[in-house]
Structure 1
Amino acid sequence: MAYEDDHKSNREKAEYVVQTTSEDDLPSYEEAAVTAGAPTEKISPLGYHVDWVSVIFLNVSKMIGTGVFTTPGSILKAVGSIGLSLIFWVIGYIFAGASLAVYLEYASYFPHRSGAEVAYLEKAYPRPRFLMPTAFAVQSVLLSFSSSNAIVLAQYLLVAGGGEASPWNVRGLAVGVFTVIVIICILSTRWSLRLSNAIGVVKVITLLFIAVTGLVVLGGHTRVDNPHANFKNAFQGTTSNGNGLATALVKVNFAYAGFENSFNVLNEVKNPVKTMKRFAPVSLSIVFVLYFLANIAYFAAIPKEAIINSKELTASLFFTAVFGNSKAVTAMSALVAVSSFGNLLAVVIGSSRIIRECGRQGVLPYPTFWASTRPFNTPLGPYLLKWVLTVIVIIAPPAGDAFNFIVDLQSYPANVFSFLTTLGLFFVRKRRKAINAPPSEFRAWNVVLFFSLSVNVYLLVLPWVPPEGGIYAGDVSFFYATYCIVGLAILAISALAYFVLIIWLPKLGNYSIRQSLEKLPDGAQATRLVKVLNSEVDEWDATHNEHGDVVPRKEELKGGISTS
């Protein structure tokens, strides 16, 4: 199977070269005003397995995990009313749409770069050299585990199978299932995408079934009494508590996280800008419609107080209310487990490309290890790193505070970089204007960018607002914002490492840091950071371009022109 995939991939690459050869004759605006970072792989060494269907379902599968089955109750509890709860799902869609516009504009500028934020931050902040790649790499690598996803998947599998959900049963099953997912991804990109697409279809069908059943309930054709009760005085009970409203917005925003997943594999998409413009918004809109209709169904079938007070899956309450079957919880747990599996698969595929791009930038040791696609035409190194980190976080921390803290720790640095990504788009525009670059295929309205920035600021400020009950009333027993402080500390450590390795030690050792281009047999390219003595810097700069590729000396070029 691996040989067949590799053979097909090589054929697809050859076909794609023919389609894009003319790009070599155009000015390389994709490289404009950038003095550091990973080289652009005009022909993807990972092949072109990502079609429009995969674009849709990579996003859909990451967005639809367990959130729509669990969070409607917590959101309703936070806002207090049915009407405002539904409005918040619309607001979340608008938030995500604004952020999607930012990604689409970046993609139109840099269509040959996967990794999304890795590449976009590199392009937006080329100075100080290597600072942004270093900071993002530390955050992305150290916090690249998917332990919470795997734990949730294991819990629902045990419930569906009638097993005992003891801590070590859950952890053991989580490690096993995650290992299976990583092996699938390592062996074949084509088949991992096909599996992701298939599970994505199951997710959509599941939510469509809930939505249609909800409409039947509203029509009065089920055992549910008074299905319109929750929609009378729909805004009754609306809270004025700022913390509750803020918490609800964060939960809704998190439910739409994943709209950007396909941008992580952008360089593996044929006609990437055109495909993304068409189908990335489609994926987000599909999820919004399904989310909204699913909530309508829940509110039609389940009394408001039952939704607020129950700790069960909201979807399980729905099945029980409509069908009156004790097996409803088991059936729903199985569907949620399938959804979680697809979510984890999509996350692993996307995050492997993020790690690979960090490695290609040269800020991680052994850049060729991360960039290589051997032996299965997949990013083996990033997959192995993600597996190791996830297994450690699943097994090592004790249940409770430590586990919750580690999971929360991922969120705050990610919010910081999300803000910087949006802000950086203004800088990229300015540099493109300075070199008279032609208009891109997509440009977000300025009002959308400012709106997206305001959302990012909101998400940065909110975690510092004390929860109801005081500073020790968060999801851990210690100070509620500890994860924010530690997250900022990680960023500070990244900056310190940058200062020591890139500025202080070179001054002390009388050398400079330069990039050297590494070209692998599989077509992959990476940057290696090398030490060049200050006495040899002029010679190096005269014989290498900004990515470290060897070029003829300027004097030789001038000489060649004059003699011709």
Structure 2
Amino acid sequence: MLNIGQILGAGIYSVPGVILNSVGSVGLLFVFWLLAPLFALGGLMIYSEYASMFPKRSGAEVVYLEQAYPRPQFLVPVMFAVTSVLLSFSATNSIVFAQYVLTAFDVPITSERQTIVAVTVCAVSMAFVALSTKWSLRAVNFLSGLKVLSLVFLVFTGALVLGGFTHIRDPYTNFLSPFSGSTVNPNSLATALVKTNFAFSGWNNAFNVIGEVHTRDPVRTVRKAGLLSLLLVTCLFFFVNVAYVAAVPKDEIRNSGQLIAALFFQRVYGGSFAAKTLPIMVALSCFGNIIAVQTIGQTRVLREIARQGLLPYPIFFASTKPFGTPLGPVCLKYLLTVFVLVALPARDAFNFLLDLGSYPNLVFHAAMAIGLWLLRRRRALASLAPSKYPARNIYILLYLTSIVFLLIMPWVPPEPGHSDVSFWYATYCVVGLGILAVCGVYYWLWIIFLPWMGGYTIMEEVERLEDGALTARLTRKYHPSVADIDNGEHQPLIAST
């Protein structure tokens, strides 16, 4: 449920039209919906090996990267921390929620209305998460089940269309000459893969809380959950796309933007009750995804980052007062979400934010794939036992190849009419690299310049929490001349201003 709750969000209801517009053919559309889970499988094997090395630590990437790249000291954790903070918005699902709600109630979609509804649903979901973790988890479980049922219903409807039981004429038209119109433009293919990867994002969600999985073999539990959820979602997504292609003309799919599911319901059910109800179910799926990501995934990562002393005001961001929830990370996510929703043009916001959110993370995922080889070598030199769940090199190479492709190919100019934004096609690449540059500047200020100015050195201390888990935090060790003033005491970062 943790994995499915994050995967089944806006992706399957919003990106197929954009993908078809990028690749140009129905055949390539289906190919990309099979490639994405294959690459995700490689990532799942990599995460499993990392998790088997550190089975008691939650936080996933922030932990694995820290262990794989200990030098330069604190560089990787700090860069991952700043990137996680700057990209911790929930705008994409909020935008799709707004579009489907407005469509369901026959309200014309304008930039102002879309932004207002998106900001409102984000506020409601944030409040839900901030007030109660238990009820948030219950909502995730309920909405995850609803998401699966809605997709099963959509697949069943597609079967009826293909069987000739609806008023759709010639449902097999789009399947004739499936690769006609295919593109070989690297930018368009990379854009399509970014979108399908977005639809499958969440297959690793359970690794974020592996330290809280109380079974005999937590890694095996989480690994099996990842495989099962990936298999289930792959089947559902593939046949949902079959349903779209059977019911909606190819040109209409290409021009549907994020409303392919609404268009499908209208084509099959006309103006009936189902055509109004099912878009509401899509909106609820987006709402459930916002809660799942904020409750279980990103807020836990942000809280772990704060506990390590990598952010200013870590006490605020690590605290669970007054409701036993990560209130600080939730508030930060809401402010960032509102900012990007208001700052970007509404018609380009979804595609741009989706692309932007993927690019810096690709750098970290590449580092994780390479870091696994480095960590294996160091552990072998230290005579440590190999991982219980080693990832085969073919999985690592497969995952790394897809990442390198997505890092390089978006710089190639797309074919006319195939760009997914109205401005320069590689803007998100430049902004993504700019975010990484901000990380480097932050590292230099936080770890090098300010300690030099203040006469102290950044040290790492290991702390045992109340539940017995170990966590690391950065502290200040003052030089002797300053330490005399401070009575020789080490001053922790979390107590500093």
Same fold (TM over 0.5): yes
User: For residues 221 and 172 of structure 1, what CA distance do their matches in structure 2 show?
Assistant: 40
Q: For the Cα contact (< 8 Å) 1:419–1:453, is it kept in 2? A: yes
CA separation in 1, counterparts of 2:271 and 2:300?
44
- The question of whether the paired residues in 2 share the 8 Å contact of 1:214 and 1:298 is answered with yes
Equivalent residue number for residue 208 of structure 1:
152
CA shift, 1:337, in A, is: 0.6
Cα distance in 2 for residues equivalent to 1:207 and 1:403: 22
Map 1:264-279; keep pairs closer than 5 Å.
Answer: 264-271=208-215, 272-279=218-225
**Other-structure match for 2:314:** 367
Query: What displacement does 1:240 show?
Result: 3.7
**Amino acid in structure 1 at the alignment position of 2:153:** F
Is contact 2:111–2:345 with CA below 8 Å preserved after alignment?
no
Across the aligned residues of Structure 1 and Structure 2, the Cα RMSD in angstroms comes to 3.2
Moved more, 200-209 or 421-430: 421-430
Are 1:157 and 2:101 counterparts? yes
Alignment of 1:102-113 (within 5 A): 102-113=46-57
2:356 and 2:176 mapped to 1: Cα distance?
A: 41
Q: Which amino acid aligns with 1:481?
A: A
User: 2:278 is aligned with what amino acid?
Assistant: M
Report which stretch shifted further, 494-503 or 185-194: 494-503
TM-score, normalised to structure 2, is: 0.88
| CA distance 1:429–1:522, shift in 2 (3 Å) | closer
2:439 matches 1:494: yes
135-144 vs 489-498, greater mean Cα deviation: 489-498
Match of 2:69 in 1: 125
CA drift of 1:402 comes to 7.9
Matched, 1:91 2:38: no
Q: 2:140 aligns with which of 171, 189, 196?
A: 196
Distance 1:69 1:108 in 2: 35
Q: CA deviation at 1:108?
A: 1.4
Shift of the 239–116 alpha-carbon distance from structure 1 to 2, 3 Å rule, reads: same
Give the stretch that moved more between structures: 129-138 or 316-325: 316-325
Cα drift, residue 507 of structure 1: 4.5
Give the CA deviation at 1:164.
5.4
Q: Give yes or no for the alignment of 1:319 onto 2:270.
A: no
Structure 1 window deviating more from structure 2 (254-263 vs 68-77): it is: 68-77
Q: 2:302 aligns with which of 341, 355, 358?
A: 355
CA contact (8 A) 2:92 2:353 kept: no
- Matched to 1:334, the amino acid is I
Residue by residue over 1:294-314, the C-alpha shift from the partner in whole angstroms, topping out at 9 and shown as x without a partner, is 112222233334433445733
Q: Deviations over 1:419-441 (max 9, x none)?
A: 11221111221222222222333
Alpha-carbon distance in 2 for matches of 1:324, 1:162: 13
Q: Which residue of 2 aligns with 1:243?
A: 187
Q: State how far apart, in whole Å, the 2-side matches of 1:300 and 1:226 are.
A: 8
Q: 1:302 to 1:528 in 2, by over 3 A?
A: closer
| Deviations, residues 19-48 of structure 1 (Å, cap 9, x unaligned) | xxxxxxxxxxxxxxxxxxxxxxxxxxxxxx
Shift of 1:103: 1.3
Counterpart residue type for residue 228 of structure 1: Y
CA distance in 2, matches of 1:255, 1:211: 17
TM-score (norm: length of structure 1): 0.78
| Residue number among 464, 474, 480 corresponding to 2:425 in the alignment | 480
Which letter maps to 1:121?
Answer: L
For 1:310 and 1:351, how far apart are their aligned partners in 2?
30
Q: Is the 8 A contact 1:70 1:314 kept in 2?
A: yes
Opposite residue 293 of structure 2, the aligned amino acid is: V
| Corresponding letter in the other structure for 2:393 | N
Q: Displacement, 1:162? A: 3.9
SS of the residue aligned with 1:207? Answer: helix
Q: Within 2, Cα distance between the matches of 1:397 and 1:225? A: 40
Q: Aligned to 1:410, what secondary structure does the other structure show?
A: helix
1:175 aligned partner: 119
SS at the partner of 2:59? coil
Distance 2:247 2:110 in 1: 32
> Within 2, Cα distance between the matches of 1:384 and 1:465?
38
| Cα distance in 2 between the residues matched to 1:495 and 1:258 | 27
Percent sequence identity is 48
Residue 220 of structure 1 aligns with which residue?
Answer: 164
- Give the alignment of 1:500-511 within 5 angstroms: 500-507=445-452, 510-511=455-456
User: Which residue matches 2:86?
Assistant: 142
Q: Residue type of the partner of 1:362? A: G
Task: Write the distance in 1 (CA, Å) between the matches of 2:469 and 2:56.
Answer: 13
Native 8 Å contact 1:512 1:537 kept in 2:
no
Could you tell me how far apart the structure 1 residues matched to 2:340 and 2:268 are?
A: 39
* In structure 2, distance between residues paired with 1:232 and 1:469: 25
Q: 2:476 aligns with which of 516, 531, 537?
A: 531
The 3-state SS of whatever aligns with 2:474 is strand
Kindly indicate whether residue 365 of structure 2 is the aligned counterpart of residue 418 of structure 1: yes
Q: Which residue of 2 aligns with 1:28?
A: none
Aligned to 1:557: none
Cα distance in structure 2, aligned partners of 1:339 and 1:230: 28
Give 2:359's aligned amino acid: Y
1:36-83 CA distance string (max 9 Å, x none) = xxxxxxxxxxxxxxxxxxxxx222232222222232233233333323
Within the candidate set 428, 442, 460, 1:515 is matched to: 460
Kept in 2, the 8 Å contact 1:371–1:525? The answer is no
Instruction: After superposition, give the CA deviation of every residue in 1:202-245 in whole Å (9 maximum; x if it has no partner).
Output: 11111111112222332233323233333343333333444333
Q: 1:487 and 1:367 mapped to 2: Cα distance?
A: 25
1:284 aligns with 2:238: no
From 235, 240, 244, the counterpart of 1:294? 240
Q: Deviations over 1:166-203 (max 9, x none)?
A: 44443333233222212222232222112111111111
CA distance in 2, matches of 1:523, 1:176: 40
Deviation larger for 497-506 or 92-101: 497-506
Describe the shift of the 1:513–1:314 C-alpha distance in structure 2 as closer, same or farther (beyond 3 A): closer
- Which amino acid counterpart does residue 173 of structure 1 have in structure 2? V
Matched letter for residue 304 of structure 1: K
Partner Cα separation in structure 2 for residue 106 and residue 524 of structure 1: 18
